[in-house]
Amino acid sequence: MEVHQARAFLAVAEHLHFGHAAAALHMAQPPLSRLIRRLETDLGAELFERSTRHVALTAQGAALVEPARELVRLSESMAAVVRESLDGTTGRVTLGFAGGSVNDLVGDLARDVRARRPGIDLELHSAQFSHVGLERVLAGELDVVLGRWDHLPPAIDSRLVATERLLVALPEGHRLAAEPAVRAEDLADESWVVLPGGARGTLTNRMHTLALNSGFAPKNLQTAPDSWTIMVLVGARMGVSLTLSSVREHTPAPGVVFRPLAPEPDPVEVRMIWRRGDRSAALAAVVDISRTTLPDPAPSGGTP
């Protein structure tokens, strides 16, 4: 049974009069009679007892009323789902982020999406380092990612959501720990603890740039899986690390002191990125909500 057949059947079942049912359906009576006959042929049973003065449901017709109503209800609900997905009322958006350093941003956004668009399922994926998150957005595996990039490809749109200071993490008691600020050249002989990703990682790239500009190459690089582990290793005097003000604020770091660099480098931008040309209305709604929840900290935002 198709939806238009179900509507026709229910109209006749309600009015028990083909003329009145046809009027309610805004159609002529002969096509309605042919449609019901064709439905009875398809189902292999008579649905109505007919006479010149009388129309009544057969037992088979009476049994079909509720399934027909359910079919019509389902059709209407499906149409509503499609309409809501087209205007961003419902849908699913996958959001990737690195971890603790942006937890507050992600939490604020998730709360406001739930409050303003409860029909959108915001699916969170943590432990997405920025270079990995970028690759997954380009591959269509994630819709949007919060992270840090010094350069983005033309296939990506973005908006600035925060800026962070670069800091040096030093073990307590380090010869530079009491200095108000640390010069990069004073770190030439240090061992370094870094995040994965090599030159694709923003912090590692910034570290190599600072070292190059100061006339040395970082040595004894030890890779740690996350910022929490880096702080453990720095506190254990395994090396120093270039890190961010957000890590200082959100990551436990016993035995570690944080010092700014002198001169202070350019801040690191935290951006929300998504595929350019993505036509998802749900994604557009999440990005729009982010403009209020995570406003651009700069006088005028832009895409790098």
Exposed, middle or buried: residue 162 (CB in 10 Å: 0-12, 13-18, 19+)?
Answer: buried
Tell me the two tokens of residue 185. 């050249």
Establish if 300 belongs to a structural domain.
no
| Residues 204 and 76 occupy one common structural domain | no
Query: For residue 66, what is the domain's CATH number?
Result: 1.10.10.10
CA triplet 297, 302, 304: central angle to 5 degrees? 115
Q: Domain ends where: 38, 70, 86? A: 86
User: Binning pLDDT at 50, 70 and 90, where does residue 301 land?
Assistant: very low
Range of the domain at 101: 91-163+268-293
Render pLDDT for 191-235 as a digit per residue (tens, 0 to 9).
Answer: 999 998 887 889 999 999 999 999 999 989 999 999 999 999 999
Q: Is the pLDDT of residue 292 over 50?
A: yes
| Residues 197 and 50 occupy one common structural domain | no
Please tell me the pTM assigned to this model.
0.70
Q: Is the pLDDT of residue 237 over 80?
A: yes
User: Binning pLDDT at 50, 70 and 90, where does residue 304 land?
Assistant: very low
Total domains in the fold of the chain: 3
Which range is least confidently modeled, 67-81, 117-131, 248-262?
67-81
Establish if 303 belongs to a structural domain.
no
Which range is least confidently modeled, 27-31, 96-100, 137-141, 167-171?
96-100
Exposed, middle or buried: residue 266 (CB in 10 Å: 0-12, 13-18, 19+)?
Answer: exposed
- The C-alpha atoms of residue 23 and residue 35 are separated, in whole angstroms, by 15
Tell me the two tokens of residue 273. 């990125």
Render pLDDT for 157-203 as a digit per residue (tens, 0 to 9).
Answer: 999 999 999 999 999 999 999 999 999 999 999 999 999 888 788 99
Closest CA to 120 of 269, 290, 294, 270: 290
Q: Which long-range contacts (CB under 8 A, 24 or more apart) does 277-283 make?
A: 278/143, 280/91, 280/93, 280/143, 281/85, 281/86, 281/87, 281/88, 281/91, 282/85, 282/88, 282/90, 282/91, 282/92, 282/93, 282/117, 282/120, 283/91, 283/93, 283/143, 283/144
- The C-alpha atoms of residue 289 and residue 113 are separated, in whole angstroms, by 7
In order, the DSSP letters of 17-35 are -HHHHHHHTTS-HHHHHHH
Tell me the two tokens of residue 249. 């604020």
Q: Domain ends where: 28, 56, 86? A: 86
- The C-alpha atoms of residue 80 and residue 135 are separated, in whole angstroms, by 34
Query: For residue 110, what is the domain's CATH number?
Result: 3.40.190.10
Choose between 148 and 127: higher pLDDT.
148
| Residues 129 and 190 occupy one common structural domain | no
| Residues 282 and 133 occupy one common structural domain | yes
